[in-house]
């Protein structure tokens, strides 16, 4: 029996580095995704690692944790916003990515 990867003809993607994960979370928040569950889906993370990452980012002043209980949506009590420091980091790495033409990792078997 063939593995699912060989059925589709695509090699499995390598694991993301911590830097890439942090940047994915920052990018999700920068795009306006402020609710923790939405950030989790956008950054493709599970709940516990996301919670650790968010707390780390708060302690480094990359994001702000905002109490949203007074707002209309009562399903969540916390939302996140990116700080200027977080914005600067996203801009810095996007600028570097623009200078490097990186090839996609996925390869099709022939």
How confident is the prediction for the chain on average, in pLDDT?
82
Question: In the structure encoding, which two tokens stand for residue 55, read together?
Answer: 């707390």
Question: Does a structural domain hold residue 64?
Answer: yes
Name the residue range of residue 47's domain: 17-99
Question: Does a structural domain hold residue 109?
Answer: no
Name residues whose C-beta falls within 8 Å of residue 38's C-beta, 6 or more positions apart in sequence. Answer: 28
Q: Please report which residue ranges of the chain form alpha helices under DSSP H.
A: 4-8, 18-30, 36-42, 47-59, 84-99
Domain harbouring 73, CATH code: 1.10.10.10
pLDDT at residue 76, as a whole number: 72
Return the residue matching tokens 């390869």: 107
Question: Does a structural domain hold residue 5?
Answer: no
Question: Does a structural domain hold residue 44?
Answer: yes
pLDDT at residue 67, as a whole number: 87
Is pLDDT of 15 > 90? no
| Cβ neighbours, 10 Å, residue 35 | 16
Is pLDDT of 72 > 90? no
Is residue 80 within 8 A of residue 66, CB to CB? The reply is yes
Residue 16, exposed/middle/buried by CB under 10 A (0-12, 13-18, 19+)? middle
């Amino acid at each position: 029996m063939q593995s699912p990867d060989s059925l589709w003809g695509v090699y499995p993607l390598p694991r993301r580095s911590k830097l890439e994960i942090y940047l994915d979370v920052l990018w999700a928040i920068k795009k306006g995704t402020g609710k923790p569950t939405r950030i989790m889906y956008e950054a493709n993370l599970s709940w516990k690692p996301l919670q650790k990452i968010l707390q780390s980012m708060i302690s480094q002043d990359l994001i702000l944790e905002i109490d949203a209980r007074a707002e209309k949506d009562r399903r969540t009590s916390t939302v996140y916003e990116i700080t200027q420091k977080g914005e600067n980091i996203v801009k810095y790495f996007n600028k570097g990515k623009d200078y490097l033409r990186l090839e996609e990792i996925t390869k099709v078997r022939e």
